């Protein structure tokens, strides 16, 4: 029972420092007497990718390990493929690992990642997936450990020594830079930071977007760009019953932004947003769309051959741009004091400074035209330029992941971990899922499918005997390391206390919750 003693180390006796250099990590061997029959898996990141990976593994390991060791069994392989291993050489899975335990590590004190910090506050139905994640966290075979930053508080090699398998699911924490002059000016920020600000992401809580101008320009035409435009133009009273932060709501109440332009390098057939988000913008109370019919000339013939989702989206754009609104829609738009528009065939070249050079005052755009067909269509400059005045510039040209640890391969150009179907290249026992695996594309359902596939690859490796067969200490060893470094993890029961506090704070104003945004306040409330 030696491993249990680690739990009683005093937190305050150990300063929080970076992990010791490689080679100085305490040995885990004395922990190996515990949970010898449990497959220990570590997941880094508690967003959709992390929780869906954990859910799939917990559901499938017992199924996998309880099956007879028969070749071509769909229950074993997931695809019924012949592994080319004689039956007597298949690993005795039911004896080695009759069950799995998954520890989910998260650098924030609170779970759910993009669902909490990325989904728009006026889309509460999308956040219902939290109920499923909570069920997973309540499993006796799953544990959440927040306030632990992998790469700083504990290294990936240390995790790999403590667990049979490690899955990196930490998402895309950075934004792609515009790489144009003036990008550093005050008045320019990423859409990712703006979303984090109104959703209560701790690192963005002190953002101070200047909404004193009447025009904002969003560079990008994806769902995030539409989310930001919608929040900027939604009447604040319509946001009062959402979980938007108190600080953000206060700033939006004082906003003078009346017009939002969404700028894209290509045309209507290449927009990246989906029909649901477009329909919401068209129906936005108090706002009217500005669409140039000239941008849609000849489009009716071109959409005949495109896939159905793209066709329906483009048809909705066409109707909004060219058809006279019906009586009900016209009545709704008549008093509209705000507007939004799509500027196609424009590529940002420079953020223009104000006369005193102290802040952004506009964007210089290169007029473009399209070359190529299908997926190869690209925007090329025509040589013409135009300036678009504004007081706020938001870049929404994509997210990207960051490298988490020097020991993990990383493609800095693509912003992903090099992998084959979720198996990290050249690092056995290390996997990835979600955006850090495939890039920042798709919706939550896409991430679910992707995470299940990564889980399936891990289980195939388990079945084929490619994971360590001996016992691993799991969290018992990591807890000792964290304790020695002064790191105090936040458990899921701790999160539920914070959750109750948020809900209680929101009740007084009719909100579903008032989010805590300061990690130190969260830790104080927990007595850490």
Same domain as 421, residue 345: no
Same domain as 378, residue 263: yes
Q: Would you list which residues are annotated within the binding site for FAD?
A: 49, 106, 114, 150, 435, 442-444
Q: Can you give the pLDDT at residue 332? A: 66
Same domain as 426, residue 379: no
The tokens describing 450, both together, are 């992707």
Q: Would you list which residues are annotated within the binding site for NADP(+)?
A: 221-224, 265-266, 277, 442
Q: Has residue 500 been placed in a domain? A: no
Question: How many domains does the chain contain in total?
Answer: 2
Evaluate the CA torsion angle 220, 225, 230, 231 in order and state its sign. Answer: negative
Give the Cα separation of 524 and 520 in Å (integer): 6
- pTM assigned to the model: 0.85
**Last residue of a domain, which of 397, 421, 447?**
397
Q: Has residue 16 been placed in a domain? A: no
The tokens describing 498, both together, are 């914070």
Same domain as 463, residue 445: yes
**CA proximity to 146, closest of 5, 10, 44, 245:** 44
Same domain as 441, residue 338: no
Give the Cα separation of 268 and 266 in Å (integer): 7
Same domain as 485, residue 367: no
Q: H or E stretch including 389?
A: strand 378-389
Range of the domain at 124: 39-64+98-173+402-490
Residue 470 sits in a domain of what CATH number? 3.40.50.720
Q: Has residue 502 been placed in a domain? A: no
387 φ/ψ angles, rounded to the nearest 5 degrees: -105, 135
Q: Has residue 263 been placed in a domain? A: yes
Same domain as 162, residue 263: no
The tokens describing 430, both together, are 């290390």
Q: Can you give the pLDDT at residue 22? A: 45
Q: Has residue 509 been placed in a domain? A: no
**Last residue of a domain, which of 397, 416, 434?**
397
Q: Can you give the pLDDT at residue 74? A: 35
**CA proximity to 300, closest of 275, 317, 283, 281:** 317
Give the Cα separation of 307 and 87 in Å (integer): 46
Which residues, 6+ apart, have CB-to-CB distance to 465 below 8 Å? 85, 89, 90, 91
Same domain as 473, residue 419: yes
Q: Has residue 92 been placed in a domain? A: no
Burial (CB < 10 A; 0-12, 13-18, 19+), residue 73, is middle
Same domain as 165, residue 192: no
Q: Has residue 287 been placed in a domain? A: yes
**Last residue of a domain, which of 475, 490, 505?**
490
Q: Would you list which residues are annotated within the binding site?
A: 49, 106, 114, 150, 221-224, 265-266, 277, 435, 442-444
pLDDT digits (tens), the chain, 528 positions: 333 333 223 232 333 334 444 444 444 444 444 356 799 999 999 999 999 999 999 998 866 555 544 433 333 333 333 333 343 444 444 345 568 999 999 999 999 999 999 999 999 999 999 999 999 999 999 999 999 999 999 999 999 999 999 999 999 988 899 999 999 999 999 999 999 999 999 999 999 999 999 999 999 999 999 999 999 999 999 999 999 999 999 999 999 999 999 999 999 999 999 999 999 999 999 999 999 999 999 888 889 889 999 999 999 999 999 888 777 766 666 667 899 999 999 999 999 999 999 999 999 999 999 998 877 789 999 999 999 999 999 999 989 899 999 999 999 999 999 999 999 999 999 999 999 999 998 889 999 999 999 999 999 999 999 999 899 999 999 999 999 999 999 999 999 999 999 999 999 899 999 999 999 999 999 998
Task: Say what the alpha-carbon torsion angle 259, 264, 267, 271 is, to the nearest 10 degrees.
Answer: -90
Residue 205 sits in a domain of what CATH number? 3.50.50.60
Sole residue written with tokens 């929080």: 16
Distance of CA 261 to the CA centre of its chain: 25
Same domain as 128, residue 152: yes
Which of the 8 DSSP states describes residue 178?
-
Same domain as 263, residue 362: yes
Task: Say what the alpha-carbon torsion angle 255, 259, 263, 268 is, to the nearest 10 degrees.
Answer: 130
Same domain as 420, residue 388: no
Q: Has residue 520 been placed in a domain? A: no
């Amino acid at each position: 029972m030696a491993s249990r003693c680690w739990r009683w180390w005093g937190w305050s006796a150990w300063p929080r420092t970076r992990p010791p250099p490689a080679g100085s990590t305490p040995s885990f061997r004395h922990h190996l007497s515990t949970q010898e029959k449990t497959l220990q898996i570590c997941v880094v990141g508690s967003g959709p990718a992390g929780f869906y990976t954990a859910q799939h593994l917990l559901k499938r390991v017992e199924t996998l390990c309880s099956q007879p060791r028969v070749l071509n069994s769909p229950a074993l392989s997931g695809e019924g493929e012949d592994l080319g291993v004689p039956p007597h050489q298949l690993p005795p899975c039911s004896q080695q690992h009759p069950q799995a335990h998954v520890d989910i590590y998260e650098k924030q004190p609170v779970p759910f990642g993009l669902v909490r910090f990325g989904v728009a506050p006026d889309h509460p139905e999308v956040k219902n997936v939290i109920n499923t994640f909570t069920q997973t966290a309540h499993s006796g075979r799953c544990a959440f450990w927040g306030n632990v930053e992998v790469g700083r508080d504990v290294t990936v090699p240390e995790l790999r020594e403590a667990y049979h398998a490690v899955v990196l699911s930490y998402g895309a924490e950075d934004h792609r830079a515009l790489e144009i002059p003036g990008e550093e000016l005050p008045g320019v920020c990423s859409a990712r930071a703006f979303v984090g600000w109104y959703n209560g992401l701790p690192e963005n809580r002190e953002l101070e977007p200047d909404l004193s101008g009447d025009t904002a320009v969003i560079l990008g035409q994806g769902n995030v760009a539409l989310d930001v435009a919608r929040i900027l133009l939604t009447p604040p009273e319509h946001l009062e019953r959402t979980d938007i932060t108190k600080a953000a709501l206060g700033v939006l109440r004082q906003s003078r932004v009346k017009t939002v332009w969404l700028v894209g390098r290509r045309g209507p057939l290449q927009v990246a947003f989906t029909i649901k988000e477009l329909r919401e913008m068209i129906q936005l109370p108090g706002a009217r769309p500005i669409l140039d019919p000239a941008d849609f000339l000849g489009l009716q013939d071109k959409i005949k051959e495109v896939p159905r989702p793209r066709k329906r989206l483009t048809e909705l754009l066409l109707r909004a741009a060219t058809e006279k609104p019906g009586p009900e829609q016209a009545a709704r738009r008549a008093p509209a004091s705000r507007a939004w528009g799509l500027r196609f065939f424009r590529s940002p070249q420079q953020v223009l400074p104000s006369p005193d050079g102290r802040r952004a005052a506009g964007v210089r755009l290169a007029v473009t035209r399209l070359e190529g067909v299908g997926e190869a269509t690209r925007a090329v400059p025509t040589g013409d330029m135009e300036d678009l005045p504004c007081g706020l510039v938001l870049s929404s040209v994509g997210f990207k992941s960051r490298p988490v640890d020097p020991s993990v391969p990383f493609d800095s150009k693509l912003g992903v971990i090099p992998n084959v179907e979720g198996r990290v290249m050249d690092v056995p026992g290390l996997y990835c899922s979600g955006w850090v695996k495939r890039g920042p594309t798709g919706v939550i359902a896409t991430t679910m499918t992707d995470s299940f596939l990564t889980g399936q690859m891990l289980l195939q490796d388990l079945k084929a005997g490619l994971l360590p067969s001996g016992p691993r200490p799991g969290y018992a060893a990591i807890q000792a390391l964290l304790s020695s470094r002064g790191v105090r993890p936040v458990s899921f029961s701790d999160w539920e206390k914070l959750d109750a506090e948020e809900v209680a704070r929101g009740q007084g104003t009719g909100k579903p919750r008032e989010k805590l945004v300061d990690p130190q306040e969260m830790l104080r409330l927990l007595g850490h």
